[in-house]
Structure 1
Amino acid sequence: MTEPANLPPGESAGPDPDEAGGPKDDRHFVTALARGLAVLACFGRGRTFMANHDIAEACNLPRSTVSRLTYTLTKLGYLHYVEEVGKYRLGTALIALSSTALGGLDVRHIARPALREVANFANASVGLGVRDRLSMRYVDCQRGPAAIALNLDIGSRISLPRSAMGRAYLAVCDARERAAIYDELCALDPVAWPRLRDSIERAIAEYREIGCSTSFGAWQDEVSAIAVGFHPGGGLPAMAVNCGGPTVITDPRTLMEVVRPKLIEAVRDLEGVMGA
């Protein structure tokens, strides 16, 4: 285990971030807890192993702070230090947490047959997602028989403002939450925000007109997708179901003319079953 290292002389740790979005004058916000969760959140696809300096850069935190956090998380089993590479990976204690969290989402089990039916009908990928800060996180995914499919699975994150799933979520969440998301997106990139805001507003207007959101090359150049948001009830936040794939096999016209009615019907039936 590496000992906490101080920043070299003259090296700046950057601004003191509250990565979980808590205001600095909020006395109820526990910054240390937020930082620990931010460390865990920076692991993911392509980031299986990370050293303290990698984590410090990803979280914009001092290396000394990160070293203490990784030491504590390792002691608790949420991180595991791999001696051979001198880096950390996610620990087994997270398995229990994730299993409990996903197991409590009854909507996943209820929705799965409908998701699978739409996936087979559209010969595409169909995902169920929830909001994760400024991303959408897949909690379930079904694939049709297509030879080419999106490289997305349970746990994958995609853009909130640019994906069909994220736009559908923004269309159905309440106005207060949407305003808070707008504030975060603006703070993230004030220069790009006006154009991004206009694209989101157009997507919300489109959703109200045709019953779904679209993303044809907005998230990734060669990916086409549509999505429908819904409220599952039972104290759960809004969710969204998308359907899409590589444009070469899942073209926008087929999605809009053939798949869209099927997807809308499936989500409305799911809403009815959930009692929302």
Structure 2
Amino acid sequence: MDDNTQALPAPRNPNAKEDRHFVTALARGLDILACFRSGDRLLGNQELAERSKLPKSTVSRLTYTLTKLGYLDYVDHRAKYRLGSASLALGSAMLARMDVRQLARPLMQELADFSQGMVSLGMHDRLSMIYVENCRSQTALTLSLDVGSRIPVATTAMGRAYLAELDAPEREQLLDKIRLADEAAWEQAQQGIQQSLQEYQDLACCTSFGSWQKDVNAIAVAFKPGKGMAPVSINCGGPAFKLAPEFLLNEVRPRLLELVQRMRHSLGTHS
């Protein structure tokens, strides 16, 4: 199962040209860095142009600048780029200040051992959720995803739980970006999202039973960790033949909700 199938980056702000504070060159440079996904070792200008939807000539100038600044390294014999130390330092600094990861990991591992699935903590980025922590059972056959992997917001339990936890204006803004990114798939995606929002009211969690990949089942809960941070999501999922919907809802869901409640208590945030 490949987590690299989702197109990146997300559509830029449609009103960017009308916003005098918006720096287009900076946004394009960040778009280039966002093209690197979990499992990508090297990318060339052509691949970056395809992923970023920018002209190759623009990409060439951006990669040159990013290399000079240390955000990319150029591998001469392959004529391709990899993330440089400056980019890695940014990510490491972000992960290091996330107390929620250290608090969540032992609780996530406990749930992974019980469910024989994979339990992951994710944050939102553009049209994706990015895994920032991951726990597997020692004996489980689980998904080939790890820290840094991206999964789509619209069709996954993790992404849908994040949507449900957002304030209404923020949710509508993100839904509009999802619609603009793929008009053809929007009707089906919208139906799944609306169903999940109702699930969040009824079950306090969101589900994805074959919505993202037909042979993958998962449930997820999101919460706000405080300190001004955006919501984060914790999911439990795995191959459908191992994790049936009934097991996830009846056995895993109460434990997942308890995990999140313990996290809120430890972080000093309210339910």
TM exceeding 0.5: yes
Q: 2 CA distance for matches of 1:46 and 1:264? A: 31
CA–CA separation in structure 2 for the residues paired with 1:18 and 1:102: 22
Separation in 2 of the partners of 1:120 and 1:133? Answer: 31
Cα offset, 1:172, TM superposition: 0.9
More displaced 10-residue stretch of structure 1: 181-190 or 255-264: 181-190
Gaps of 5+ in 1: 1-16
What residue number does 1:6 align with? none
Q: Does 1:78 align with 2:63?
A: no
C-alpha separation in 1, matches of 2:10 and 2:247: 43
Instruction: Number of aligned residue pairs: give it.
Output: 260
Q: Which residue of 1 aligns with 2:6?
A: none
Please say if residues 156 and 211 of structure 2, whose CA atoms lie closer than 8 Å, have aligned partners that are also in contact: yes
CA-based RMSD of the aligned residues comes to 1.5
Q: Which residue of the partner structure matches residue 88 of structure 1? A: 81
> Contact 1:226–1:255 (CA<8 Å) still a contact in 2?
yes
What amino acid is the match of 2:261?
R
- 1:22 Cα offset (Å): 5.6
Greater relative CO (CA pairs within 8 A, separation 6+): 2
Q: Is the aligned partner of 1:137 residue 2:123? A: no
What is the CA distance between 1:191 and its match in structure 2?
A: 3.2
- The equivalent position to 2:247 in structure 1, one of 235, 251, 254, is 254
Distance 2:96 2:39 in 1: 26
1:21 aligns with 2:13: yes
Q: What is aligned with 1:272?
A: 265
* 1:228–1:264 contact (8 Å) kept in structure 2: yes
- Residues 21-79 of structure 1 show CA distances to partners (whole Å, capped at 9, x for unaligned) of 36221111111011001101111235322211221121111122111100011111111
1:108 and 2:101 are equivalent in the alignment: yes
Which of the two has higher C-alpha Rg? 1
The code of the aligned residue for 2:72 comes to L
- Kindly tell me: are residues 265 and 236 of structure 1, through their superposed partners in 2, closer, same or farther at Cα, counting changes over 3 Å? same
- Contact 1:128–1:242 under 8 Å retained in 2: yes
**Corresponding letter in the other structure for 2:13:** G
Is residue 223 of structure 2 the alignment partner of residue 227 of structure 1?
no
Is the Cα contact below 8 Å between 2:37 and 2:150 reproduced in 1?
Answer: no
Question: What TM-score, normalized by structure 2, do the two folds share?
Answer: 0.92
Which region of structure 1 is more displaced relative to structure 2, 192-201 or 70-79? Answer: 192-201
Q: Is 1:61 paired with 2:61?
A: no
Q: Which amino acid aligns with 2:114?
A: F
> Does residue 208 in structure 1 map to residue 201 in structure 2?
yes
Distance 2:38 2:256 in 1: 28
Cα deviations by residue, 1:112-132 (Å, 9 ceiling, x for unpaired): 111111111111100011111
